[in-house]
Structure 1
């Protein structure tokens, strides 16, 4: 699913009215009617007080359309105009006149805090937030902020129209008290990027997209700034296997890493590479891990460094299809020199994680040695060491994009909605849960992506697909283990079920609930 920018949505609205020969008022009628249909389907006429708060722009116009339909269908509706500016949109004024001709109970106009001091909202009521839309570019007035805080204090269910009021689509907020905390957001035609960022996702617990009939050609042909990745996006990436295929057809993954006390990381990554479909897996490790690796994972082949406790010389006589490197490797001086020498001579596709990334952060000149579309999988602190400190989530994405373009690499930003960055494009994952905030899950992700690359997936496809499978395996494992007891090995055990789920009967479109950010 595409995630369009504010400017793209405006252009889509303009082209829709032009190509479908309708007015902007007609398009607003569609939008408001779709919200009404969504509410009516769920409430079926229930007489719960519905407080509809409308701004004086187009978002407020959508709210007025909704209020009018609720009134004509017999709902208990109280409508308010949040009079926060001298400017009113044309379509707002048209719908303001329409609602005044529909009911004798004209909307109550709020122009200051005193105007809503006597407004009573109980916990059982419903609040519809239609104050500000995607065009907001400054912080709301102080009295409007107080109104939002009154809503929150009431604990009433809050439904936002298109985007929670006070949120910007393209920059960070200044004050959390100036933003509506929505229980649910009905977003027109496309979700908003801010629904998936750690600092702003909390402002809507759930969301759903409503189709308002925007021009189909525009939607299909326009390249969006971001794409939401669910089963329907990854299924076309899947490579089926031929009847007479053999292990040699699915590549040879080499996993390089480990040090004394950290051999589990290589074990997890190697198992994940094989379980994701690599035909062969070899682990390159220090001598100290040889017996444990052979005993715990007999399917893997093992090559050891001459050194007992850490890697000092990455040399091998095999021809791997891809190398996953860095997990549990440590940052000893001898290991840093070994990695540098390896990178200077390497032409094989790479996935780099953990200490491999930490070494790159210490010696930034090594970034110039990476093959094009090398995949980097940092957790937040590792990302910060690579791209520098950021001021907010938008700044983080900007720095990650610049880093990706400068070094021609793919960057995986791990989190509750893991984001894959390639040049200016963002791919936002929908699978996964807080149970993944446990040791070793990042090593599993490295192994999965390495295993997919070994099978011949293109780097960006391997990354998107790997991140999806990783999270889906965790979601399936959650059913048996719960958040607290889910461990990295459970993800590997459920990779098979994640693959099988790709071909299960389609369910309702996946709408990720917002959960705490996880470190993998």
Structure 2
């Protein structure tokens, strides 16, 4: 799914009115009606008090359309106008007139704190936030911030229209108190990037995209900087197997890493590479890892370094399709020297994780030795060592895009919504859960991505697909183990089920439900 920028959304609205020969007021009517339909389907006429707070721009106009439909359908509605400026949009004013035609109880005007001090919002009520939309470019007035605090204090269910008020689409929030904390956000046509960033995702617990009929050609043809990755997006990436295929068709992964006490990282990564479907895996480890790997994973071949406890001289005669490097590697002086020597002579594609990233951070001149489209998979601290500290998520994305472009590498920003970055493009993943915050889950991801590169997936596609499979496998494991007991080995064990899930059809209603319908 494409995530459109603020400017693209405005352009889409404009083109839609031109191509469909409708007014902007009619498009607003369409948007507000879709929100009403969503609420009406769930509430079925329930007489819960609904407080609709409307700003004086187009977001407020959407709220007025919603309030009018709720009123005409008999709901218990109180409408408020958050009068925070002298500037009112044309469509807001038209819909303000429309709502006055369907009720004798005109909207309550709020212009300062004293206007809403006596407003009572019960814990079982519903708040609809239609105060500010995507056009906001400065913090709300102090009294408006106090209104938002009243929302929070009420603990009522809060539904935001398009975006939680006070939240920007393209920059960080200065003060969390100046933003509505929504339980649910109904976003027009597509969600916003800020719903997926660590610092701003907290402002909406859940979201849903509503189709308001924006011009289809515009949606299809417009290139966006950000894409949201789910099953629909990864299915076209998947490569089916042919009947006469053999293991040589699916590549050879060399998993290079391990040190005394950290051979388990190579174990997990190697098992994950096999589980992702590659034909062969060889682990390159110090001598101390030989027996455990040969015993634990009979399918994996093992080459040992001359050193007993650390990798010190990387030499091998095989020709791997891809090399996964860094898991459990350590950063000792002799390992650092061996890693540098390896990079200077290496010609194979690389998937780089963990201590290999730390070694690159310590000597950034080595970054110029990386093959084009190498895949880097840092966790937040490793990323900071690579690109430098950032003040907010938007600066982080800017730094990572610049880094990716400078070295022509793919960078995976790990997180609740891991983001794959290549040049100016961002791919936001939707699978995964908090149970993945456990030792070794990153090693599994390195293995999966390495295994996909070995199977001739392009590096960018391998990263996007690998992150999806990794998260989906963890989601499947969650059903049996829960958040606290999920471990990395469980994720490896369910990679196959993640593949199978790609082709599962949505569950059909039970027979009894069908008959009732």
Q: Scaled by the length of structure 2, what TM-score is found? A: 0.98
Deviation at 1:313?
A: 1.1
Query: Could you say what secondary structure the match of 1:173 adopts?
Result: coil
Matches of residues 221-370 of structure 1 in structure 2 within 5 Å? 221-370=221-370
Query: Could you say what secondary structure the match of 1:147 adopts?
Result: helix
Stretches of 4+ aligned residues off by more than 2 angstroms: none
Per-residue displacement from partner, 1:183-231 (whole Å, max 9, x unpaired)?
Answer: 0000000100000000010100000000000000000000111000001
Distance 2:149 2:314 in 1: 59
Per-residue displacement from partner, 1:239-258 (whole Å, max 9, x unpaired)?
Answer: 00001100000000000000
Matched, 1:404 2:408: no
Distance 1:310 1:31 in 2: 62
Q: What is residue 486 of structure 1 aligned with on the other side?
A: 486
Matched, 1:176 2:173: no
Matches of residues 112-123 of structure 1 in structure 2 within 5 Å? 112-123=112-123
Matches of residues 188-203 of structure 1 in structure 2 within 5 Å? 188-203=188-203
Distance 2:391 2:168 in 1: 16
Deviation at 1:347?
A: 1.2
Distance 1:135 1:84 in 2: 14
Distance 1:506 1:210 in 2: 20
Matched, 1:142 2:137: no
Q: What is residue 5 of structure 2 aligned with on the other side?
A: 5
Distance 1:444 1:8 in 2: 37
Q: What is residue 511 of structure 2 aligned with on the other side?
A: none
Deviation at 1:292?
A: 0.6
Query: Could you say what secondary structure the match of 1:253 adopts?
Result: strand
Deviation at 1:507?
A: 6.2
Query: Could you say what secondary structure the match of 2:21 adopts?
Result: coil
Per-residue displacement from partner, 1:448-502 (whole Å, max 9, x unpaired)?
Answer: 0000000000000000000000000000000000100000000000001000000
Distance 2:448 2:294 in 1: 20
Distance 2:301 2:238 in 1: 27
Deviation at 1:439?
A: 0.3
Q: What is residue 47 of structure 2 aligned with on the other side?
A: 47
Q: What is residue 87 of structure 1 aligned with on the other side?
A: 87
Q: What is residue 152 of structure 1 aligned with on the other side?
A: 152
Distance 1:313 1:24 in 2: 68
Q: What is residue 511 of structure 1 aligned with on the other side?
A: none
Distance 2:213 2:483 in 1: 40
Q: What is residue 35 of structure 2 aligned with on the other side?
A: 35
Matches of residues 52-67 of structure 1 in structure 2 within 5 Å? 52-67=52-67
Per-residue displacement from partner, 1:272-306 (whole Å, max 9, x unpaired)?
Answer: 00010010000000001100110011100000000
Per-residue displacement from partner, 1:297-346 (whole Å, max 9, x unpaired)?
Answer: 11000000001110011111101100000110000111111111111111
Sort the Cα spacing of 1:507 and 1:430 in 2 relative to 1 into closer, same or farther, 3 A. Answer: farther
Sort the Cα spacing of 1:430 and 1:507 in 2 relative to 1 into closer, same or farther, 3 A. Answer: farther
Query: Could you say what secondary structure the match of 1:158 adopts?
Result: strand
Q: What is residue 462 of structure 2 aligned with on the other side?
A: 462
Distance 1:447 1:124 in 2: 48
Distance 1:398 1:24 in 2: 34
- Taking only aligned residues, the RMSD between alpha carbons, in angstroms, comes to 0.7
Q: What is residue 515 of structure 1 aligned with on the other side?
A: none
Query: Could you say what secondary structure the match of 2:240 adopts?
Result: coil
Q: What is residue 514 of structure 2 aligned with on the other side?
A: none
Distance 1:314 1:140 in 2: 59
* 5+ residue gaps, structure 1: 509-520
Query: Could you say what secondary structure the match of 1:183 adopts?
Result: strand
Q: What is residue 395 of structure 1 aligned with on the other side?
A: 395
Query: Could you say what secondary structure the match of 1:119 adopts?
Result: coil
Q: What is residue 505 of structure 2 aligned with on the other side?
A: 505
Matched, 1:443 2:463: no
Distance 1:503 1:211 in 2: 25
Matched, 1:71 2:49: no
Matched, 1:205 2:216: no
Query: Could you say what secondary structure the match of 1:479 adopts?
Result: helix
Q: Scaled by the length of structure 1, what TM-score is found? A: 0.97
Per-residue displacement from partner, 1:403-450 (whole Å, max 9, x unpaired)?
Answer: 000010000000000000001110000000000000000000000000
Deviation at 1:506?
A: 3.1
Distance 2:483 2:239 in 1: 31
Q: What is residue 96 of structure 2 aligned with on the other side?
A: 96
Per-residue displacement from partner, 1:333-367 (whole Å, max 9, x unpaired)?
Answer: 11111111111111110000000000000010000
Distance 1:245 1:506 in 2: 30
Distance 1:143 1:188 in 2: 28
Distance 1:506 1:222 in 2: 29
Query: Could you say what secondary structure the match of 1:206 adopts?
Result: strand
Query: Could you say what secondary structure the match of 2:99 adopts?
Result: helix
